[in-house]
Amino acid sequence: MSTILITGGTVVTASGTLDADVLVEGEKIAAVLARRPGLEVSITADRIIDATGKYVLPGGIDAHTHMEMPFGGTFSVDTFETGTRAAAWGGTTTIIDFAVQAKGTSLLATLDKWHAKADGNCAIDYGFHMIVSDVNDTTLKEMDACIAAGVNSFKMFMAYPGVFYATDGEILLAMQQAARSGATVMMHAENGIAIDQLVAQALAAGRTDPVHHGLTRPPELEGEATSRAITLAQVADCPLYIVHLSAAQALAAVAEARDTGQNVFAETCPQYLFLSLDDLARPDFEGSKFVCSPPLRPKEHQDSLWRGLRTNDLSVVSTDHCPFCFKDQKELGRGDFSKIPNGMPGVEHRMDLLHAGVVAGQLTLPRWVEVASTTPARMFGLYPRKGVIAAGSDADIVIYDPAARQTLSAATHHMNVDYSAYEGVEITGRVATTLSRGHVVIDDGTYQGSPGHGAFLARELNQYLL
Ligand code: DUC
Ligand code: ZN
Ligand code: ZN
């Protein structure tokens, strides 16, 4: 079995920092060896990686991505191969992607289809959530089979009538079914029925620019839907995870539910922490690059979200990586913002952007690791295999240089998309080395991984439930 010794670094975990060396044997972490003055331990290894001056982190877990997703009449442009490679460049060693049930199809056939897309193509490990868009007796029964197959989180939509939308009654039925096994329902919480009326009114009045995507999806309608989802989950006694939370109103509803002890959790995404409605309003159709749902919000919401991350009302930061090219894809919505495919690229830069939050004093170093790796591992049944630097865990390790400088750009990123939402933004910090199960995937500015190294992760239930 080959061995790697990572020396001289500062190990950062959710519980603190430690000057320690890390020994990797094969695919696992064999030991974390604290360095103390006067206590010299001599260990030999096949390969020594010098991490002096760098952080040694558990690999990032991005619990919300969409590779090759059929959506808005087109497909998101990263494949499992290109998307997982880009993730590794940015220090993410696990993704959890969404299998998408089309109406009239079965959940298990959907799962097979997503396995076929990912199998043999991923540079890092991956799991699946299931999008349930057709609630009926058959699919409700199939939820148990999905759980047995390691897919125990089910996303539903209160938005997109006619596409993914589920009625309150359908949501209640799915929540009751999930609750019987302890599975989690993930919710896209926006009031799609009301939004569709606002969209029709805007278009009829000739308001067609991308900024109207944001203006027709007001934060109040995210707050209302979030409260309604929480009430339905309470009645069904089902764990609820609000995805891509963007608005202060929605956060207030989550915080109130958590204060009562209800099993309600929420994630936000870097785009809601760093970008705003001003970006959607960029001229010359540039705003289309920032169309995602829920939409980017007025800047005032950002402070609430950072605070929510500190208070744990927001427990996870994932990306909702759903990239569409500007050319030919975003352009489908010239003259009609409602035809712009909803989604933004992000899988490569989540760790960097959150590190920028550390540099700016918004998060501590351990909290950075917690929201980006440890909590997603626990939330989605992967801990302690993933999400921690500890003996026995998978050797998914990122060596992060906190002093390196980089400028984000489409010219240098590795995502398969023709623009960057952060073009020209300067960041302090950069991944030096990424290991996935003991294999070096990124080192010193080169990709050394291979498609097919990444393995499917059958997940256990949410580990925050009593
Ligand atoms: N919701 C997502 O989670 N991803 C892409 C689009 C959407 O509305
Ligand atoms: Zn969504
Ligand atoms: Zn998504």
Q: What are phi and psi of 92, to 5 degrees?
A: -100, 130
Ligand 1 pocket, residue 321 CB under 6 Å: no
Global confidence as pTM: 0.98
What is 114-158 written as a DSSP string? HHHHHTTT-SSEEEEEEE----SHHHHHHHHHHHHTT--EEEEES
What is 166-228 written as a DSSP string? --HHHHHHHHHHHHHHT-EEEEE---HHHHHHHHHHHHHTT--STHHHHHTS-HHHHHHHHHH
- Residue 465's contacts (CB-CB under 8 Å, 6 or more residues apart) are 182, 239, 263
* Cα angle, residue 386 at apex, residues 385 and 389 outer, rounded to 5°: 95
Atom of ligand 1 nearest to the CA of 342: 6
Q: Look at residues 409, 371, 344 and name the one whose alpha carbon lies nearest to residue 65.
A: 344
Rounded to whole angstroms, the Cα distance separating 150 from 430 reads 33
Ligand 1 pocket, residue 173 CB under 6 Å: no
- Residue 204's contacts (CB-CB under 8 Å, 6 or more residues apart) are none
Ligand 1 pocket, residue 396 CB under 6 Å: no
Please say whether the beta carbons of 137 and 174 come within 8 A: no
Q: Print pLDDT tens along the chain (466 aa).
A: 999 999 999 999 999 999 999 999 999 999 999 999 888 878 999 999 999 999 999 999 999 999 999 998 999 999 999 999 999 999 999 999 999 999 999 999 999 999 999 999 999 999 999 999 999 999 999 999 999 999 999 999 999 999 999 999 999 999 999 999 999 999 999 999 999 999 999 999 999 999 999 999 999 999 999 999 999 999 999 999 999 999 999 999 999 999 999 999 999 999 999 999 999 999 999 999 999 999 999 999 999 999 999 999 999 999 999 999 999 999 999 999 999 999 999 999 999 999 999 999 999 999 999 999 999 999 999 999 999 999 999 999 999 999 999 999 999 999 999 999 999 999 999 999 999 999 999 999 999 999 999 999 999 999 999 8
Q: Look at residues 379, 397, 391, 402 and name the one whose alpha carbon lies nearest to residue 461.
A: 379
Atom of ligand 1 nearest to the CA of 293: 8
Tokens matching residue 348: 């490569």
Ligand 1 pocket, residue 293 CB under 6 Å: yes
Ligand 1 pocket, residue 320 CB under 6 Å: yes
Atom of ligand 1 nearest to the CA of 159: 8
Ligand 1 pocket, residue 342 CB under 6 Å: yes
* Beta partners for residue 112, in sequence order: none
Ligand 1 pocket, residue 63 CB under 6 Å: no
- Residue 283's contacts (CB-CB under 8 Å, 6 or more residues apart) are none
Q: Is the dihedral of CA 327, 328, 330, 335 positive or negative?
A: positive
- Relative to beta strand 446-447, strand 439-443 is antiparallel
Find the 413 Cα to ligand 2 centroid distance in Å: 24
Instruction: Give the residue, by CA position, lying nearest to ligand 1 atom 1.
Output: 293
Ligand 1 probe mutation, 62, 64, 65, 66, most atoms within 8 A of CB: 66
Ligand 1 pocket, residue 76 CB under 6 Å: no
Instruction: Give the residue, by CA position, lying nearest to ligand 1 atom 7.
Output: 293
Find the 244 Cα to ligand 1 centroid distance in Å: 8
Atom of ligand 1 nearest to the CA of 243: 3
Ligand 1 probe mutation, 268, 292, 338, 340, most atoms within 8 A of CB: 292
Rounded to whole angstroms, the Cα distance separating 6 from 32 reads 10
- Residue 227's contacts (CB-CB under 8 Å, 6 or more residues apart) are 253
Find the 193 Cα to ligand 3 centroid distance in Å: 19
Find the 209 Cα to ligand 1 centroid distance in Å: 20
Residues measured by CB to lie within 5 Å of ligand 3, the ion: 320
Instruction: Give the residue, by CA position, lying nearest to ligand 1 atom 5.
Output: 343
Ligand 1 pocket, residue 343 CB under 6 Å: yes
* Beta partners for residue 96, in sequence order: 127
Helix (H) or strand (E) holding 309: helix 300-311
Tokens matching residue 141: 């029964």
* Beta partners for residue 165, in sequence order: 157
Find the 320 Cα to ligand 3 centroid distance in Å: 4
Find the 164 Cα to ligand 3 centroid distance in Å: 12
Instruction: Give the residue, by CA position, lying nearest to ligand 1 atom 3.
Output: 320
Instruction: Give the residue, by CA position, lying nearest to ligand 1 atom 2.
Output: 320
Find the 56 Cα to ligand 1 centroid distance in Å: 32
Sheet with 153-157: list strands edge to edge. 60-65, 92-100, 125-131, 153-157, 184-188, 240-242, 264-268, 316-317
**Integer angstrom CA distances of residue 306 from 130, 184, 225, 348:** 28, 25, 21, 20
Q: Is the dihedral of CA 399, 405, 408, 412 positive or negative?
A: negative
Find the 90 Cα to ligand 2 centroid distance in Å: 23
Ligand 1 pocket, residue 322 CB under 6 Å: yes
Ligand 1 pocket, residue 243 CB under 6 Å: yes
Find the 64 Cα to ligand 3 centroid distance in Å: 6
Q: Is residue 193 exposed (0-12), middle (13-18) or buried (19+ Cβ within 10 Å)?
A: middle
Q: Look at residues 147, 149, 154, 161 and name the one whose alpha carbon lies nearest to residue 100.
A: 154
Rounded to whole angstroms, the Cα distance separating 193 from 179 reads 26
Ligand 1 probe mutation, 69, 322, 340, 347, most atoms within 8 A of CB: 322
